[in-house]
A and B are shown apart, each in its own frame.
Chain A
Amino acid sequence: MLPKTLARKYGLREFMVKRYIEIFGVKGTKEFLDKVEKGISSYVRVNTIRGREEEITYRLMEKGFDLKDTFVPHVYSIKGDFSPSSSLEYLRGEIFLQDLSSAYASFSLGVKEGERVLDMCSAPGAKTTHIAQLMRNKGEILAVDSSKTRVLSLIYNLARCGVRNCYVWIEDSRKLPSMIKSKFDRVLLDAPCTGEGVISKDRSRKLSRVEKDYSIMSSIQKELISSGLSLLKEGGILVYSTCSISPEENEEVISYALEKFQVEIIPLEFGERGLKSFMGRKYPREVTKCRRFYPHVHDTYGFFLAKLRLVKEVKT
C-alpha cells in the first residue's frame, strides 16, 4: 500500500516509488521525495577565463548574493533576491549556473592544459565550458552533440564564456569511432538519460517516463560508452555521468564496460558508493567505487559518476 500512497502524495508513478524504496528504504524515500518537492540549492561556477575569481565573487556579494564554498573549486552555492542569470556577471560569462554534482563530473575528469579532450554529449555546454576553464583555454576540446537545436545553446554558451579551444560537431557520438582516427587523452560522457535525478527542476519527468525507458536508455548508454572507450588512448580517462539514479543507466552500464573493455574504476572522494545490487540484479564489487549523489543527502540533483582508466587501448 505504501508505494501507492507515496505515489499519490508526490504525484509520481507507483513503479518509481517502488524503485526508490529499493534504493533508499522507506524513511530515505520519504526524505528524498520531500527534498525533491522542496528543491535544492542553486550553484554557480565562477569562470576564471573571464576574470579573477576574487573580483567576480566580490561583485556578486556587493549585489547582495550570499556565496558559500563547496567541495568543487570555483563552485559556490548562491542565494539572493534575484536570479544570478539576470546579472551582468552572467551576461559577461563570468559565472555559469551549474549544479554541484555536474561540476564535480567535469572536475573529476582531471584535464590538463594542452590535452585532447572529447565531450561526447556536450550541449548545452556546462561541462564543456568548465573543462575549457580547467584547461585554461589551451589544448583542444571536441564537443559533439546530435541535436542541432541544443548545439545552438552550446555555441552561445561557449561564446559567452570566452572558450577558444573548442570545436563543435553535430553528430551522433556512437558513430565517432568510424570518423576519427586519432585518440583522446580524456573523454567525458554525460550520457542522455531518463533524467530521474532532475525531477526537482523538471516536474514533467514525474509522469513522462515508463518502466521500459530504463532499458532503452541503458542500451544507448552502453553503445555510447563503447564508442568513448574506443577513442581513448591507453591510460586515458573516461568519466561517465548521468542525471539519473536508476541502476540500469548507471551501475549496469559500468558493469558492461568492465566486462567488455580492459578498464579500471578510479575511486572518487565525494558521494555515496555505487550499488552492489538492485531488484535481484547483482553488480561486480568494483562498481561500488562509482559515486552517487542525492538531493536529500548532498543537496544536489540525483546524479551518478564513474571515473574509468583504460588499461589497454582498443584497436580500431
Chain B
Amino acid sequence: MTPSWFKSLKRWVENLNSEYEDEIMKFMKWCLDSEILIKKENLILLLTSRSSFLNRSVFSGIPLGEIGSRERFIPHPEISSVIGPFLKKAYSSEKGAVLFTYGRDLFIESVLGYSEMPRDEECLLICDAYGRDFGIGRYKRGERIIVNLLDRGLYLRKGY
C-alpha cells in the first residue's frame, strides 16, 4: 500500500507541470519499492547507502523534504539534485542568481538562456552561467518572470 506521505510528494511533483512528470514519478516509485525512499520522523530521505546504523538514525542520505501539517510535502533545497536532471534549465546572470537565493523571483531579463524552451507554468531548474543549480522556479510567460518555488537561500533564512 502506498503511504500517504508518498501521495503528498506525488501531488508536489504533479504541480511542477514538468513534461517529464511521468519519468520523475516512475523513479520515485522505484525508490519507494526498493526501500531507499523512506520517511524518518517527518523527513523524507533518499538513502545513498545502507548500514546497521540506519535503524536508530534520524538522518542519512539526501533529504528531499519534510511532511508538514495536513500531510503537506515541503521540499528541501537538495531535492533539486534528485529531480534536477528531469527538469528544463534556465541559466541566470550572477545578479539574478543571487537575488533568487534571497527568495526573489527571477526576471526574464536576467535569464541568459534555456536548455529547452519551457511551456507556460512549467517548473525549471535555476542555474548560474556555470550550470550550478540554485533552486526551482515556475515560468510565467505573460508576466515575464520565473516565480521562486524553492532556493538554496533557505539554508540562511532558516538559520541553519
Interface of A toward B, CB cutoff 8 Å: 51, 55, 59, 85-86, 88, 91-92, 140, 142, 151-153, 155-160, 162, 164-171, 179, 182
Report whether A92 and B59 are in contact in the complex, using a CB–CB cutoff of 8 Å. Answer: no
Interface status of B108 (Cβ within 8 A of chain A): no
Report whether A167 and B160 are in contact in the complex, using a CB–CB cutoff of 8 Å. Answer: no
Give the most central of A85, A140, A153: most B CB within 10 Å.
Answer: A140
- Please name all residues of chain A whose beta carbon is closer than 8 Å to the beta carbon of B53 when the two chains form the complex: 140, 142, 167, 169
Report whether A157 and B58 are in contact in the complex, using a CB–CB cutoff of 8 Å. Answer: no
Interface status of B134 (Cβ within 8 A of chain A): yes
Report whether A170 and B58 are in contact in the complex, using a CB–CB cutoff of 8 Å. Answer: yes
- Please name all residues of chain A whose beta carbon is closer than 8 Å to the beta carbon of B101 when the two chains form the complex: 88, 91
Closest to A140 in B: B51
Closest to B133 in A: A92
Tell me the complex Cα distance, A162–B94, Å. 22
Q: A92-B152, A160-B152, A169-B53 are in contact. List 17 more A-B contacts (CB 8 A).
A: A51-B132, A59-B130, A85-B156, A88-B94, A91-B152, A91-B153, A91-B155, A91-B156, A92-B132, A142-B53, A156-B158, A164-B49, A167-B51, A167-B57, A167-B60, A168-B59, A182-B52
Give the most central of B57, B128, B153, B160: most A CB within 10 Å.
Answer: B160
Report whether B158 and A165 are in contact in the complex, using a CB–CB cutoff of 8 Å. Answer: no
Q: List 20 A-B contacts (CB under 8 A).
A: A88-B101, A88-B128, A88-B132, A91-B134, A91-B152, A151-B58, A152-B160, A155-B63, A156-B158, A157-B160, A158-B59, A159-B76, A159-B77, A160-B152, A165-B49, A166-B59, A167-B51, A167-B59, A170-B58, A179-B56
Tell me the complex Cα distance, A108–B68, Å. 41
A173, chain B: closest CB distance, angstroms: 13
Given A140-B49, A159-B62, A165-B48, A153:B57 Cβ within 8 A: no
Give the most central of B53, B56, B98, B156: most A CB within 10 Å.
Answer: B53
Report whether A169 and B153 are in contact in the complex, using a CB–CB cutoff of 8 Å. Answer: no
Interface of B toward A, CB cutoff 8 Å: 43, 48-49, 51-54, 56-63, 76-78, 81, 94, 97-98, 101, 128, 130, 132, 134, 152-153, 155-156, 158, 160
Pair count A-B, CB < 8 A: 76
Closest to B153 in A: A91
- Please name all residues of chain A whose beta carbon is closer than 8 Å to the beta carbon of B60 when the two chains form the complex: 166-168
Closest to A139 in B: B49
B118, chain A: closest CB distance, angstroms: 23
Report whether A169 and B97 are in contact in the complex, using a CB–CB cutoff of 8 Å. Answer: no
B68, chain A: closest CB distance, angstroms: 15
Given A88-B128, A157-B160, A168:B57 Cβ within 8 A: yes
B155, chain A: closest CB distance, angstroms: 5
Tell me the complex Cα distance, A52–B68, Å. 36
Give the most central of A85, A159, A164: most B CB within 10 Å.
Answer: A159
- Please name all residues of chain A whose beta carbon is closer than 8 Å to the beta carbon of B62 when the two chains form the complex: 159, 164
- Please name all residues of chain A whose beta carbon is closer than 8 Å to the beta carbon of B155 when the two chains form the complex: 91, 156, 160
- Please name all residues of chain B whose beta carbon is closer than 8 Å to the beta carbon of A152 when the two chains form the complex: 160
- Please name all residues of chain B whose beta carbon is closer than 8 Å to the beta carbon of A167 when the two chains form the complex: 51, 53-54, 57, 59-60
Report whether A169 and B156 are in contact in the complex, using a CB–CB cutoff of 8 Å. Answer: no
Report whether A164 and B61 are in contact in the complex, using a CB–CB cutoff of 8 Å. Answer: yes
Report whether A88 and B134 are in contact in the complex, using a CB–CB cutoff of 8 Å. Answer: yes
Tell me the complex Cα distance, A169–B57, Å. 5
Closest to A94 in B: B132
B93, chain A: closest CB distance, angstroms: 12
B42, chain A: closest CB distance, angstroms: 12
